[in-house]
């Protein structure tokens, strides 16, 4: 039990890849790329205008950044020998190819005006990770974390902008993520990682008469999580989804989305906590669109239930409200509140209540500045006994009656890039995170709170 609870410490508050299945749409590889570099996650920053070859455009690119990470293992300050700071290097080459995008298909270098029969996008990106340890007191050598992450995507959309549309896609994501570490140098879990391979497949069909005034889309997703470390349990999720959009004004629409899934673990022989099969369900209804020429609004409300076969369950109202102000052509302010339910590394689930704000500013088309901040109150279900589903002890700092507990997560990121040309740019980012909690797990009462700061300088070339 101690091994599994220690592993959960490093994953506290981390959203597992399976969460994307509740979003009711065919997932993108970017959903799972939990790397901390902003430009590695944002496709608009990752790709340039492209190199045209016939009816296709290619997007080669490479990025490098180097920086400092104050707490590689997300260890509590009360475990000084578990904390490890490090220098980090990341090298990320990528290559994507697609049919002509909107930028080229509407420009003078494209002679084709007819609607395409199929839109295609595919490619691969790699991320090499290197750690150089700075804390001599740590029980763990971070250089052993050296590894290669990857993402690959393949997507076909048939008959786009027609009455009937069909799409099929596949994604592969290899996520490199340090695991838990504690004060005990003999602890096996201190040598583990949360490195995992995620495979996603999706099929969807859309009915969109009247030039897209109304659209109904439904489909199926399958997701598999395969961990490098056999200590953790691999999982499989199947999900069916449907979405509806009715545009009753030129730039305003009513929307509905719903999904039902089936989560199962492939091997739970050695598990003593959590890891129960589930049938999650989600539905949301609302409106999205412009209030004025510069202000847009998104409002969604609905229901989400987890339906785990044992242990604790969520059965709650969920929703999102977001306002965006287009200050001018170079600046944008966005803020909102999100409530949903996510899978947890322990306790089956947590209900996330997150407020967030984002500001983006560009200067002369060369310099881009972005600032993000958020605060989340995460409400966890009780940690359950694998055999009975009853609350598991010893766990301290939880509600004496229900066994549930809360954490608060605060995060902020500043990202800046100066584009020397349309192809080449230099960038910098600073990110801070903290998890606040009184909870302690396992026979040694290990805390799950942590604070982490990292900063990177980088450069990238993309076409």
CB 253 within 8 A of CB 288: yes
Reading the block at residue 376, the tokens are 């989340």
What is the full DSSP assignment across 369-396? EEEEEEEEEEEEPPPBBTTT-SBPSSEE
Q: What is the pLDDT of residue 8?
A: 43
Chain segment 249-267, per-residue pLDDT in tens: 889 999 999 999 999 988 7
Average pLDDT over residues 301-319: 95
**What is the chain's length?**
463
Angle among Cα 95, 100, 103 to the nearest 5 degrees reads 100
- Model confidence at 29, in pLDDT bands (50, 70, 90)? very low
Helix (H) or strand (E) holding 153: strand 147-158
Q: Taking the domains of the chain in order of start, what are their residue ranges?
A: 2-462
Q: What is the pLDDT of residue 137?
A: 57
Average pLDDT over residues 212-234: 89
Q: What is the pLDDT of residue 396?
A: 77
Q: What is the pLDDT of residue 317?
A: 97
**Residue appearing with tokens 């497949």:** 201
Is pLDDT above 80 for 269? no
In the chain, what's the furthest Cα-to-Cα distance?
Answer: 70
Is pLDDT above 60 for 290? yes
Answer left, alpha or beta for residue 210, where phi above 0 means left and psi between -120 and 50 means alpha. left
Q: What is the pLDDT of residue 296?
A: 97
> Which DSSP symbol is given to 11?
H
Between 14 and 95, the more confident residue is 95
- Model confidence at 410, in pLDDT bands (50, 70, 90)? very high
**Residue appearing with tokens 């396992």:** 442
Which CATH architecture group holds 2-462?
Answer: Beta Barrel (2.40)
Average pLDDT over residues 19-47: 41
Average pLDDT value over all residues in the chain: 83
CB 255 within 8 A of CB 300: yes
- Model confidence at 365, in pLDDT bands (50, 70, 90)? confident
Least confidently predicted of 196-200, 277-281, 310-314, 400-404: 400-404
Q: What is the pLDDT of residue 334?
A: 97
Q: What is the pLDDT of residue 115?
A: 84
Which residues are CB-neighbours of 269 under 8 A, at least 6 positions away?
none
Q: What is the pLDDT of residue 420?
A: 92
- Euclidean distance between CA atoms 193 and 147, whole angstroms: 11
Between 126 and 347, the more confident residue is 126
Which residues are CB-neighbours of 401 under 8 A, at least 6 positions away?
none
- Model confidence at 333, in pLDDT bands (50, 70, 90)? very high
Q: pTM of the entire structure?
A: 0.84
Is pLDDT above 50 for 383? yes
Q: What is the pLDDT of residue 106?
A: 53
Helix (H) or strand (E) holding 241: strand 235-249
């Amino acid at each position: 039990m101690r091994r599994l609870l220690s592993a959960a410490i490093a994953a506290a508050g981390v959203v597992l890849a399976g969460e994307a299945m509740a979003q009711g749409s065919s997932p993108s590889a970017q959903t799972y790329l939990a790397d901390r570099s902003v430009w590695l996650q944002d496709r608009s920053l990752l790709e340039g205008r492209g190199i045209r070859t016939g009816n296709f455009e290619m997007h080669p690119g490479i990025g490098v950044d180097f920086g400092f990470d104050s707490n590689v293992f997300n260890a509590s300050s009360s475990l000084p020998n578990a904390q490890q700071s490090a220098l980090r290097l990341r090298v990320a080459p990528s290559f994507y190819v697609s049919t002509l995008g909107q930028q080229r298909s509407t420009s003078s270098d494209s002679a084709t005006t007819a609607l395409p029969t199929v839109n295609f996008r595919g490619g691969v990106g790699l991320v090499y990770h290197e750690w150089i340890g700075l804390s001599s007191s740590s029980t763990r050598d971070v250089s052993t974390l050296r590894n290669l992450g990857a993402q690959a995507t393949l997507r076909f959309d048939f008959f786009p902008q027609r009455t009937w549309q069909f799409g099929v896609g596949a994604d592969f994501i290899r996520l490199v993520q340090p695991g838990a570490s504690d004060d005990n140098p003999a602890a096996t879990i201190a040598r583990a990682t949360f490195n995992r391979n995620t495979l996603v497949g999706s099929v969807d069909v859309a009915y969109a008469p009247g030039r897209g005034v109304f659209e109904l889309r439904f489909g199926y997703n399958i997701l598999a999580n395969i961990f490098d470390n056999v200590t953790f349990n691999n999982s499989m999720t199947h999900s069916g989804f449907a979405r509806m959009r009715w545009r009753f004004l030129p730039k305003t629409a009513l929307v509905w989305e719903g999904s039902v899934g089936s989560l199962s673990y492939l091997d739970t022989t050695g598990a003593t906590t959590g890891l129960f099969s589930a049938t999650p369900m989600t539905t949301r209804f609302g409106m999205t669109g412009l209030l004025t020429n510069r202000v847009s609004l998104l409002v969604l409300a609905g229901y989400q239930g987890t339906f785990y076969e044992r242990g604790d369950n969520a059965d709650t109202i969920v929703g999102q409200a977001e306002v965006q102000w287009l200050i001018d052509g170079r600046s944008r302010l966005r803020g909102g509140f999100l409530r949903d339910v996510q899978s947890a590394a322990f306790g089956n689930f947590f209900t996330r209540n997150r407020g967030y704000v984002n500001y983006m500013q560009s200067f002369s088309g060369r310099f881009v500045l972005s600032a993000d901040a958020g605060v989340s109150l995460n409400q966890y279900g009780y940690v359950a006994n694998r055999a009975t589903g009853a609350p598991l002890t010893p766990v301290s700092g939880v509600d004496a009656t229900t066994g549930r507990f809360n954490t608060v997560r605060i995060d902020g990121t500043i990202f800046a890039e100066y584009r020397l040309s349309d192809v080449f740019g230099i960038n910098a980012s600073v990110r801070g995170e903290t998890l606040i909690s009184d909870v302690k797990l396992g026979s040694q009462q290990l805390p799950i709170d942590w604070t982490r700061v990292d900063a990177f300088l980088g450069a990238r070339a993309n076409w």
